[in-house]
Chains A and B, each alone.
Chain A
Amino acid sequence: MPGLEDLYREIILDHYRNPRNRGELPVPPAHAETGFNPLCGDEITVYVQTEGDRIVDVKLAGQGCSISQSSASMMSTAVKGKTIDEARRVVSTFKGMMSVHEQRLGGDEAERSSDALAELGDLVALQGVVKFPVRIKCATLSWNTFAQALDAVGAPNH
């Protein structure tokens, strides 16, 4: 049985107690998306400001548990300054890490994952969440919401 230390790593608690990039951005020019976790009622709003294809600012509003808040905080620092394509890759790698199914794959797939994981930096601290399947939705809430924001920003009529 996984222990709490797998879940509540120090870096996670740090981002929870001192969340980065809290606040709002004026819409427009920024784009905002709100996501809900139907399990617990948490909601988060992700503000994304782009210039050309680069994400120049990300802000987060809403409420949630330590896992959803710290995951959002870490995400904001990880994607700020990246191009939209680079950010999408981070999203994809993170969501791969959060997939309970991915964890069961062996061989090449697992190796590819571990290479990609190296790029995630501090976010790897959230890997322990996979051992608590009910909490995966907490960790991925801000990422799914951010991905929706990217889709909207990338839409031709934006």
Chain B
Amino acid sequence: MAIDVTAVKKDFPIFDQEVGGKRLVFLDSAASSQKPRAVLDAMDGYYSTTHANVHRGVYAIAEEATRLYELARRRVGAFVGADDPAEVIFTKNVTESFNLIAYSWGRANLGRGDVVVLSSMEHHANLVPWLQLAEERGIVLRYLGLTDDGRLDTSELERELDGARLVSITACSNVLGTLTPVREVADAAHAAGALVAVDGAQLVPHVPTEVGALGADFFGFTGHKMLGPTGIGVLWARRELLEAMPPFLGGGEMISDVRTDGFSPAELPWKFEAGTPPIAEALGLAAAVEYLEKLGMDAVREHEKALSAYAIASLTERFGDDIKIHGPLDAGSRGGLISFAFKGIHPHDLSQVLDEHGVCVRAGHHCAKPLMRHLGVAATARASWSVYNDEPDIDALGDALVDADRIFS
């Protein structure tokens, strides 16, 4: 069933207002999406009726908080085809998810000369933790290249994966929008004896996702880009990997016993959840997942793919060679965003003028500086969509670009 944007927009309180006297045209969901009332209500309802710490108190509201928190884990896991809740670890965000992999699995398994393969379009979240390990222990980083049209270049995969211990790549570039052939890379990695970690931050909000079908061993994603609250992310990993890994952060909740001379970690998944977890955020994320499921992820994907196709076609028709859209030009190869350059106007200036028209886009390096260098730019402007965007939003972007041209040319 197609997405009824008018109805969907009514579910998002932020669209009830005007910003600076203008209709809010929010085209920055790839940075952080807006939240439906159902998510706010879930969090509010929890704080108003049953807030207590989880896995501790033996009284009714604490039991209820614990039940809801663990139910949230099952719902969020099931959303990406992760049916064993022991394999679903709540983190703060996808950055923490990848730090957990690098610190816990990486430190236990990687030493001098061990090879970790990344791609040239990784977000800093899936790059800096590995650079830190390279500095600390001398692991070697290899980068899969890109084709001229911004796809992952898999032509030399076998050679590039030779001897690798881990391949850690994004499923969807947050800059180019490119969907990567995760399964193909995962199969090749496994054949080479490497494990596979996948950054799903830009995939899960937009494309039906099954961690098993992707062939991932580790899979990270984050709540606030998928209509959920900030402060909660997920790391899914295969149980035997998690069981063999040492804990990441130490403290409360993650232990089964503590003595003056040592400790025993808790069972999965709590072994990796030190301290009081983000309980309200987990409930909020579960509500976001429920909201997306109600719309249907197939419908979400079709809606956003159609928007990408419309954006590419209409902006190219309007501006011709004055607009340069980075990455592949067929909507089927992309998630829900486009990055672009426009008439040599700096993305900061573009974004500033667009803001005057109520149009919110992201301008900057998108936490992907190596990719910016590859593209030969310091920054790009990026427009991204979600379930509440429609074609008039893209038209508003085009109209605002005309005004930017007027000011700067």
Instruction: List chain A positions with a Cβ less than 8 A from chain B.
Output: 1, 3-4, 7-8, 13, 16, 39-43, 63-67, 132, 135, 138
Tell me the complex Cα distance, A121–B32, Å: 41
With A40-B363, A41-B369, A65-B346 known to touch, is A7 a contact of B379 (CB < 8 Å)?
no
Interface contact B352-A132, CB-CB below 8 Å? yes
Interface contact B346-A3, CB-CB below 8 Å? no
Contact partner, B348, options A1, A43, A138, Cβ 8 Å: A138
Interface contact B364-A40, CB-CB below 8 Å? yes
Interface contact B364-A39, CB-CB below 8 Å? yes
CB of A73 to closest CB in B, whole Å? 14
Tell me the complex Cα distance, A66–B353, Å: 12
With A67-B348, A135-B352 known to touch, is A4 a contact of B378 (CB < 8 Å)?
no
Interface contact B352-A64, CB-CB below 8 Å? no
With A40-B347, A64-B346 known to touch, is A3 a contact of B356 (CB < 8 Å)?
yes
Assess whether B20 is interfacial by the CB under 8 Å rule.
Answer: yes
With A4-B353, A66-B408 known to touch, is A41 a contact of B372 (CB < 8 Å)?
yes
Q: B243-278 CB contact bits vs A (8 Å, 1 = yes)?
A: 000000000000000000000000000000000000
With A40-B379, A41-B378 known to touch, is A4 a contact of B363 (CB < 8 Å)?
no
Interface contact A63-B353, CB-CB below 8 Å? no
Chain A neighbourhood of B108, CB < 8 A = none
Considering only CB atoms, which chain A residue lies closest to B407 in the complex? A8
Tell me the complex Cα distance, A132–B349, Å: 12
Tell me the complex Cα distance, A64–B349, Å: 10
Assess whether B365 is interfacial by the CB under 8 Å rule.
Answer: yes
CB of A9 to closest CB in B, whole Å? 12
How many chain-B residues does the 8 Å CB contact rule pick out?
Answer: 18
Chain B neighbourhood of A66, CB < 8 A = 346, 348-349, 408
Interface of chain B residues 307 through 363 with chain A (CB within 8 A): 346-349, 352-353, 356, 363
Instruction: List chain B positions with a Cβ less than 8 A from chain A.
Output: 20-21, 346-349, 352-353, 356, 363-365, 369, 372, 378-379, 407-408
Chain B neighbourhood of A132, CB < 8 A = 352
Please list 13 pairs of residues, one from A and one from B, whose beta carbons are closer than 8 Å in the complex, sorted by A's number. Answer: A4-B353, A4-B356, A13-B407, A16-B408, A40-B348, A40-B379, A41-B369, A41-B378, A41-B379, A43-B378, A64-B346, A66-B408, A135-B352
Task: Say what secondary structure dominates the interface of chain B.
Answer: helix
CB of A116 to closest CB in B, whole Å? 27
Interface contact A42-B378, CB-CB below 8 Å? yes
Interface contact A41-B352, CB-CB below 8 Å? no
Seed contacts A4-B353, A66-B408, A138-B348; 12 additional CB < 8 Å A-B pairs: A1-B21, A7-B352, A13-B407, A40-B364, A40-B378, A41-B364, A41-B378, A42-B378, A63-B378, A65-B348, A66-B346, A66-B348
Considering only CB atoms, which chain B residue lies closest to A138 in the complex? B348
Considering only CB atoms, which chain A residue lies closest to B356 in the complex? A4
Please name the 8 residue pairs, one residue from A and one from B, whose CB atoms are nearest each other, closest first: A41-B365, A65-B346, A65-B348, A41-B378, A1-B20, A40-B364, A40-B379, A66-B349
Interface contact A64-B364, CB-CB below 8 Å? no
With A13-B408, A40-B365, A66-B408 known to touch, is A4 a contact of B379 (CB < 8 Å)?
no
Considering only CB atoms, which chain A residue lies closest to B363 in the complex? A40
CB of A85 to closest CB in B, whole Å? 33
Tell me the complex Cα distance, A41–B229, Å: 28
Chain B neighbourhood of A42, CB < 8 A = 378-379
Considering only CB atoms, which chain A residue lies closest to B19 in the complex? A1
Chain B neighbourhood of A8, CB < 8 A = 407
Chain B neighbourhood of A4, CB < 8 A = 352-353, 356, 407
Chain A neighbourhood of B21, CB < 8 A = 1
Tell me the complex Cα distance, A16–B349, Å: 11
Chain B neighbourhood of A65, CB < 8 A = 346-349
Interface contact B356-A135, CB-CB below 8 Å? no
Considering only CB atoms, which chain B residue lies closest to A16 in the complex? B408
Chain A neighbourhood of B372, CB < 8 A = 41
Interface contact A135-B348, CB-CB below 8 Å? yes
Chain B neighbourhood of A3, CB < 8 A = 356
Chain A neighbourhood of B347, CB < 8 A = 40, 65
Considering only CB atoms, which chain B residue lies closest to A43 in the complex? B378
CB of B196 to closest CB in A, whole Å? 29
Tell me the complex Cα distance, A127–B333, Å: 45
Considering only CB atoms, which chain B residue lies closest to A3 in the complex? B356
Chain A neighbourhood of B346, CB < 8 A = 64-66
Considering only CB atoms, which chain A residue lies closest to B20 in the complex? A1
For B364, B365, B372, B378, the residue with the greatest tally of chain A CB atoms inside 10 Å of its CB is B378
Tell me the complex Cα distance, A132–B348, Å: 12
Interface contact B378-A64, CB-CB below 8 Å? yes
